[in-house]
Amino acid sequence: MITGETLNIHEKFFSKIGFNYLIFAISALIMQVIVVNVIGITNSSLLGNFNVITIISAICNYILPFPILFYLMKKIEVQKLEKQNLNIKTFLLYLGITFTLMWIGNIIGLAITSIIGNAFHTSITNPVQRLINSSDIMLNLMLVSIIGPIFEEIFFRKFLIDRTIRYGARVSIIISAIIFGFFHGNISQFFYAFLLGGFFAYVYIKTGKIIYTIALHIIVNLMGSVVSVIVVKSAQTLLSNAYAPTDLAIVVIYMIIILSALLIGIIGLSRYKKARFNGAKTQIALDNPLKTILLNPGMIFLILFFISEIIYMLLH
């Protein structure tokens, strides 16, 4: 049994985690406001260019605030995970599960946004999807498909799980999923980011190697931000009754990949059993994990910050 005094120590630990990520989020927001205003003063026409907006978003969300989060999190003791290699078969299984969870999350997100949109008689769009459709495809490849996943896996898996794993895999997975979901800042992305954040946390704890979650993250973002754009253009060409065997091949191959991934993911999830993690034993067991993780000042303020951001996005 954990005494009230000991529990308070753990609440303070997760509160510190919450405040660290709150400072990180506010810093990114402030940097974005500063950069946008500087560009607005010097050359306001650039702000109408979606390519420029994409670059600003990447710089302010990943590169500039990175030293701040690194400095804050390095003060917290790290526990190394036991490393384990993945074979090709297991990686493909994880990839199928990744796509399946993404689609499940997307369906939930679309349903929720549809309900909210109907209730308020407004149309709610996914800001990231709008940005992807409006930006240069090579820019999407570099920033959304490569740089974004690398930084996000470091922020929300490496930094976070290495410091919370002492409380067990379940606690680390929950907090990684929640913070990753909220950090996307809009209701459209929250649900699939939550599911993927939890699964990527599982994979990182299972393998102890961040390279695997980075690879999964890159592939899923690549399919969403680059490949899907190419496929949509090919589909539009075919719908215009144009004879285009290359476009037909692109659409057919894409559908085969998608259906195969969905089948693999469904089978993988249906056969899921209680996870076992090599070397990731719970050192500190909590009587009430959710209460300890979430009901502390740092996490409460962090969640309230993102809820207000989500509400702002809905109203604008």
Give the separation between CA 175 and CA 181, rounded to whole angstroms: 10
**pLDDT > 50? residue 70:** yes
Question: Do residues 301 and 19 lie in contact, with contact meaning Cβ atoms separated by under 8 Å?
Answer: yes
Residues 232-256, mean pLDDT to the nearest whole number: 88
Q: Where are the alpha helices (DSSP H) in the chain?
A: 4-43, 50-58, 66-73, 88-120, 127-134, 137-139, 148-153, 159-164, 169-183, 187-207, 210-222, 228-239, 245-270, 289-294, 297-315
Q: What is the mean pLDDT of the chain?
A: 88
The tens digit of pLDDT for each residue in 278-307 reads 666 678 888 888 999 999 999 999 999 999
**Whole-model pTM?**
0.90
The tens digit of pLDDT for each residue in 12-42 reads 999 999 999 999 999 999 999 999 999 989 8
**pLDDT > 50? residue 1:** no
- The per-residue pLDDT for 129 is 65
Residues 179-204, mean pLDDT to the nearest whole number: 93
Q: In the structure, what pLDDT confidence band is assigned to residue 126 with cuts at 50, 70 and 90?
A: low
Q: In the structure, what pLDDT confidence band is assigned to residue 221 with cuts at 50, 70 and 90?
A: very high
What are the CA-CA distances from residue 289 to residues 3, 22, 168, 277 (Å)? 14, 21, 10, 19
Give the separation between CA 99 and CA 196, rounded to whole angstroms: 9
Per domain, the residue ranges of the chain are: 4-315
How much of the chain exceeds pLDDT 70, in percent? 90
- The per-residue pLDDT for 3 is 43
